[in-house]
């Protein structure tokens, strides 16, 4: 038999990253290998200092290269990829505890400084968006990617502790959960090849036997799963064919959605949201410090975040109370110009300016607004006893606005059927009949919420536009890579 069983020194363990090397922080006589990209170079008479980073941490590692090294110092430029061998020693200089005394240097990939699009000087957001494939090479964008990773880890850890099951709900679906109508349609880009079907296919026939759309929310599907395994959550891409160009909207974004059985009060759902978001506020401190340095006026935001993380239960007010506060502000202002462009009025949606005022001015921190009028909300939210409002909430946070939305779901068969009919949906139809079925067999009170991941990144990092909060953003008229 010709089987070549490699003696294989490969244990599946990769060499240490620069972050790991710096965390171990030990002077070592033994040689270590460091890979990374050159971030800066400072040449002195007999010695060259270079900062090298593999993107694993905010700081990178200072490398000290003696001029006696047989190496191509000419190629040691910003952006070049290198392999260095040397020893980690205590740094005599300020700014870092340890540095790498380099014994040998290998340039793996040169980077011509005359044409490299990522120059050291500050580049505009728009320029970097145009260079989406190279944007991660900036310190700021790399920090956002690591911060996002830290936030997701924190969310996963929270739900694992609470015994939730992570689930994958479908991206392709036939229903439009939010009823907003701004969906994307999906069709195969080519007709089938004859090898699979003996009769010529009907080009008008749907691939899935019915029209397919990209999901706008995993909620309805999560409800089906929560009717069996009680506690489920998904971290899933969602899609809206939104043509408006705001700094809070993307055509493709990621949502953390959780759904659980046996929830009976909106207040309980808010409690879980608050615990989960407060946890996340502790994530990625190095990255946030790096990002705060790059943005003007960050002190206020950072202070507000720290206060939110430390504060007692975040305030909760009903929509009716919120409207009353907004009306008071709108009419009592001494100045002749009203503070809001839109008049706050019971029965009307809260505008972005209203949401900001509630969290930034009135509460000065995160605030839950609960029990909105049923006419403003989707059919699946549980009707309150007043028959006017539904058992729901939005979590509003400073600088961002709505971060989370959630509710109890209508678990009673007849009230759900009534709501659907009044929303023009057929409770017995193919599209939503299955959803009604969940109330027919062992229905359980339940609730849940959805959190926009890019908005969480935006709030925590202080980055204003969600286009900088995801690696490769998509919005109307723009899809690079």
Give strand ranges (E) for 300-459.
316-318, 367-370, 392-397, 401-408, 446-452
Judged by beta carbon, residue 66 or residue 311, the one nearer a second copy is 311
Q: What angle separates helix 139-161 from helix 453-461, to the nearest 10 degrees?
A: 120
Q: How far is the CB of 106 from a second copy (least distance, A)?
A: 11
Tokens of 273: 């949201």
Query: Is the CB of residue 253 less than 8 Å from the CB of residue 475?
Result: no
Task: Note every long-range contact of 84-87, with CB atoms under 8 Å and residues 24 or more positions apart, other chains counting.
Answer: 84/33, 84/34, 84/35, 84/52, 85/31, 85/32, 85/33, 85/34, 86/31, 86/32, 86/34, 87/27, 87/28, 87/29, 87/30, 87/31, 87/32
> Cβ 393 to a second copy, closest distance in Å?
12
Least distance (Å) between residue 360 CB and a second copy:
15
3-state secondary structure 447-476: EEEEEEHHHHHHHHHCCCCHHHCCCCCEEC
Nearer of residues 214 and 396 to a second copy, judged by Cβ: 214
Please check whether residue 85 is in contact with residue 68, taking contact to mean a CB–CB distance below 8 angstroms.
no
Minimum CB distance to a second copy smaller for 224 or for 298: 224
For the CB of residue 336, give the shortest distance to a second copy in the complex, in Å.
25
Of 325 and 394, nearer to a second copy (C-beta) is 325
Query: Closest Cα partner for 456 from 412, 408, 402?
Result: 402
Q: Mutual orientation of helices 139-161 and 285-293 as an angle, nearest 10°?
A: 150
DSSP run (H or E) holding 231: strand 231-239
Nearer to a second copy, 65 or 329 (CB): 329
In the complex, what is the shortest distance from the CB of residue 418 to a second copy, in angstroms, rounded to a whole number?
Answer: 18
Task: Give min distance, CB of 271 to a second copy, in A.
Answer: 3
Give min distance, CB of 406 to a second copy, in A: 13
Beta carbon nearer to a second copy, 1 or 97: 1
Shortest distance (Å) from residue 66 CB to a second copy: 23
Backbone CA torsion sign across 123, 126, 130, 135: positive
- Measured from the CB atom, is 66 or 179 closer to a second copy? 179
Q: 48 or 154, CB closer to a second copy?
A: 154
């Amino acid at each position: 038999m010709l089987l070549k069983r490699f003696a294989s020194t490969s244990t599946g363990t990769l060499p240490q990253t620069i972050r790991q090397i710096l965390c171990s922080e030990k002077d070592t006589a033994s040689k270590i290998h460091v890979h990374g990209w050159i971030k800066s170079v400072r040449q002195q008479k007999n010695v060259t200092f270079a900062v090298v980073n593999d993107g694993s941490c905010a700081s990178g590692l200072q490398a000290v290269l003696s001029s006696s090294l047989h190496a191509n110092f000419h190629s040691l430029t910003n952006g070049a990829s290198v392999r260095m061998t040397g020893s980690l020693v205590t740094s005599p200089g300020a700014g870092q505890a340890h540095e790498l005394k380099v014994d040998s240097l290998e340039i793996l990939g040169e980077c011509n400084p005359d044409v490299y699009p990522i120059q050291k000087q500050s580049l505009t957001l728009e320029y970097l968006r145009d260079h989406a494939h190279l944007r991660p090479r900036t310190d700021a964008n790399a920090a956002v990617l690591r911060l996002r990773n830290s936030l997701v880890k924190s969310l996963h850890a929270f739900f694992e502790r609470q015994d939730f099951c992570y689930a994958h709900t479908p991206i392709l679906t036939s229903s439009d959960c939010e009823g907003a109508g701004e969906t994307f349609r999906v069709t195969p880009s080519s007709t089938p090849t004859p090898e699979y079907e003996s009769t010529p296919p009907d080009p008008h026939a749907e691939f899935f036997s019915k029209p397919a759309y990209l999901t706008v929310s995993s909620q309805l599907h999560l409800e089906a799963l929560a009717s069996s395994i009680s506690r489920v959550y998904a971290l899933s891409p969602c899609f809206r064919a939104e043509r408006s160009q705001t700094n809070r909207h993307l055509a493709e974004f990621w949502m953390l959605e959780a759904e659980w059985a046996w929830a009976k009060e909106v207040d309980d759902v808010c409690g879980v949201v608050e615990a989960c978001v407060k946890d996340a506020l502790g994530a990625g401190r190095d990255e946030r410090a790096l990002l705060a340095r790059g943005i003007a006026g960050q002190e206020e935001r950072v202070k507000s975040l720290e206060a939110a993380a430390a504060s007692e239960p975040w305030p909760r007010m009903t929509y009716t109370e919120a409207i009353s506060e907004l009306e008071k502000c709108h009419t009592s202002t001494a100045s002749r110009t009203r503070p809001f462009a839109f008049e706050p009025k019971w029965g009307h949606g809260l505008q972005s300016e209203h949401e900001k005022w509630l969290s930034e001015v009135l509460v000065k921190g995160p605030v839950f607004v609960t029990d909105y009028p049923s006419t403003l909300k989707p059919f699946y939210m549980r009707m309150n006893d007043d028959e006017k409002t539904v058992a729901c909430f939005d979590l509003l946070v400073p600088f961002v606005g709505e971060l989370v939305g959630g509710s109890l779901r209508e678990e009673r068969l007849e009230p759900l059927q009534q709501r659907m009919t009044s929303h023009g949906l057929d409770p017995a139809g193919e599209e939503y009949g299955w959803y009604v079925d969940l109330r027919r067999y062992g229905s359980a009170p339940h609730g849940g919420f959805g959190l926009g991941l890019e908005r969480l990144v935006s709030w925590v990092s202080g980055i204003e536009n969600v286009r900088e909060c995801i690696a490769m953003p998509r919005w109307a008229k723009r899809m690079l890579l």
